[in-house]
Amino acid sequence: MSRRTAFGALVAVALFAMAAAAVPATGAVRGTTATGGTIRIWTDKDRRADIERIANVWGARRGVNVEVVEKNFGDIRDQLKTVAVGIAPDVIIGAHDWTGQLAADGLVVPLQPRKATLRQFPAYSIDAFSYGTTVKRLYGAPVALENIGLVVNTRLAHVPKNFGDLEKQALAFKRKANDNLAIAVPQAPVGDAYHMYPFFSGLGGYVFGRNRVGNLNPRAVGVANATFLRNARLIDKWDREGLINSKVNYDTAKNAFLKGKAAFWITGPWEADTLKTSGLRFRVVQVPAIKFRAVPFLGVQGFMVTRYANTHGTATLAKDLVASYIMAPASQRALAAANGRFPANRVAGRQVRDAVLSQFGKAGVGGVPMPNIPQMSSVWEELGGAWLKSTNGTATTARPTFQTAARNIRNKIG
């Protein structure tokens, strides 16, 4: 669901002009001025051309050869476990929720960006690539943020002032025709914890708590925490009045919005081109606060240095590329634009001129990175299933449904 943009064609000139400013005289490891060697990078098709330009600018300054290898995005993680050392990558692009497993398997190494660099990023984007059972370490340089937002057809409704206003408008629109939807949010056929997360967080829900040093604690499951359960009666209310209908799948939600059968749609930046060519007048905002701020899940993509860089003798160079140059605003703008996502770097984010992308970026402020620990695999089905059962128009009530989901998650984690 990614897209290319024309921005990439302009990157090379801008990067050469800014190279001196973007690449500090010292590397990510203080006092380092290492040069020479070859850096091998695994990246996906969407960002290959841009990472080649960016890395070659850096390589020319460092006297380093850069070899960029194109992989299917999902294969990057899987093949890193089995690749022969001689052809293994020094640097990979990846999703933040790979971090826990890759770090636990010793396949990626910690980074130490400068404090001035880290201050250019929201804490949650740094946290997305951080992992540790006792000490939390940073294992990746965040590049692009992805999150859902509430898309409002401003010919059919106004941007809601609060959640009560959203509820009132959505239900009034639903009553106008039998096939209208109140809020077009996909869940069918198996549940969708990702698209439902703003409603979950807005009621006080969370997936995992944290321990004393700030690391995610898989034994502190928050799916049925006391605060959320006190607010779960609102889910029953939404179900009775038809505000949310779990029989709606992705295509149904999308088509309803595009055909004027829904004034509100929950979706993400992968639909930016669809929205731009739709002929609709729209705005993208964060779902209004319910009992708490209704923040979305965040997906964060970025670059990591592999253990093979140590074997190849290129670790210092690889860390300089990832923790210094790729975290600079110019690189961030180019790489985020390459597949139509909002840059993680705040400075780069202020320079985004694409109105739709900028709106999705603002809709993600304060978002929660999808937990990057391996135990998250035990959550998706249960959390999505609880929403599916609680909003299917039957007498199933939310409170016991989420309690059962939490119990099942704890049992799966063991």
Residue 228 shares a structural domain with residue 377: yes
Q: How far apart are CA 132 and CA 123, in angstroms?
A: 16
| CATH code where residue 198 lies | 3.40.190.10
Check if the beta carbon of residue 297 is closer than 8 Å to that of residue 197: yes
Which tokens is 87 given? 């052809």
Q: Would 364 be classed as within a structural domain?
A: no
Residue 114 shares a structural domain with residue 96: yes
Q: Would 130 be classed as within a structural domain?
A: yes
| Assessment of whether the complete model's pTM goes beyond 0.85 | yes
Range of the domain at 106: 6-139+299-354
Strand partners, 69: 42
Quote the pLDDT of residue 35. 53
Residue 240 shares a structural domain with residue 185: yes
Residue 333 shares a structural domain with residue 377: no
Q: Would 362 be classed as within a structural domain?
A: no
Tally the domains of the chain: 2
Residue 289 shares a structural domain with residue 338: no
Quote the pLDDT of residue 338. 87
Q: Could you count the other beta carbons within 10 Å of the beta carbon of residue 278?
A: 14
Strand partners, 61: none
Quote the pLDDT of residue 37. 86
Residue 127 shares a structural domain with residue 153: no
Q: What is the mean pLDDT of each run of 10 residues along the chain (414 residues)?
A: 35 35 36 64 94 95 96 96 97 97 96 97 96 91 97 98 98 98 98 98 97 91 98 98 97 98 98 98 98 98 98 97 96 90 96 96 97 96 98 93 98 96
Which tokens is 120 given? 């250019």
Residue 184 shares a structural domain with residue 288: yes
Which residue among 307, 327, 354 closes a domain?
Answer: 354
What do you get for the CA distance between the two ends of the chain, in Å? 35
Q: Would 361 be classed as within a structural domain?
A: no
Strand partners, 130: 138
Residues 75, 79, 80, CA angle at the centre, nearest 5°?
A: 115
Q: Would 95 be classed as within a structural domain?
A: yes
Q: Would 226 be classed as within a structural domain?
A: yes
Check if the beta carbon of residue 206 is closer than 8 Å to that of residue 231: no
Residue 112 shares a structural domain with residue 255: no
Q: Would 360 be classed as within a structural domain?
A: no
Q: Would 201 be classed as within a structural domain?
A: yes
Residue 242 shares a structural domain with residue 327: no
Q: How far apart are CA 38 and CA 67, in angstroms?
A: 7
Which tokens is 255 given? 């088509």
Residue 315 shares a structural domain with residue 328: yes
Residue 330 shares a structural domain with residue 208: no
Q: How far apart are CA 314 and CA 321, in angstroms?
A: 11
Which tokens is 405 given? 């989901």
Quote the pLDDT of residue 356. 97
Residue 388 shares a structural domain with residue 317: no
Angstrom CA distances, 42 to 100, 237, 296, stand at 19, 49, 29
